[in-house]
Amino acid sequence: MDSHLARKIEKAKDYALQPERVKFAKYTATFKGDNDDHEISYESEGWRCTCYYFSGHDTCSHIMAMQMMLEDMVTSDLAATV
């Protein structure tokens, strides 16, 4: 194995143990809900979800689950609701 590649792999392992280095600025995913799939996204203005509940409440179980999974990797006022 190339010595430079080996060093990059070791550095990646070290970085992976330091999630505080990462802050998401933009994120999009498909969330498989119990009844349907929902598109969720995160941008500087906050979270969005295509589910019916989100449209009336500005949060939903899909977003709360993602906030729990991503913990401190996103910065949003909505994170304080979890």
**Tens digits of residue pLDDT in 9-31:** 999 999 999 988 887 778 899 99
Instruction: Identify whether 39 is part of a domain.
Output: yes
What is the pLDDT averaged over residues 36-50?
91
Instruction: Identify whether 15 is part of a domain.
Output: no
**Tens digits of residue pLDDT in 62-78:** 999 998 888 767 665 44
Instruction: Identify whether 5 is part of a domain.
Output: no
Instruction: Identify whether 14 is part of a domain.
Output: no
Instruction: Identify whether 71 is part of a domain.
Output: yes
Q: How many domains does the chain have?
A: 1
Contact 38, 51 (CB under 8 A): yes
CA distance linking residue 76 with residue 32, whole number of Å: 23
- Which domain does 70 fall in, by range? 23-81
**Euclidean distance between the first and the last CA atom of the chain, given in angstroms as a whole number:** 45
Instruction: Identify whether 9 is part of a domain.
Output: no
Q: What per-residue confidence (pLDDT) applies to 23?
A: 79
DSSP letters for 30-78: EEE-SSSEEEEEEETTEEEE-SHHHHHHS--HHHHHHHHHHGGGB--GG
Cut 0.85: pTM above it? no
Instruction: Identify whether 27 is part of a domain.
Output: yes
Instruction: Identify whether 7 is part of a domain.
Output: no
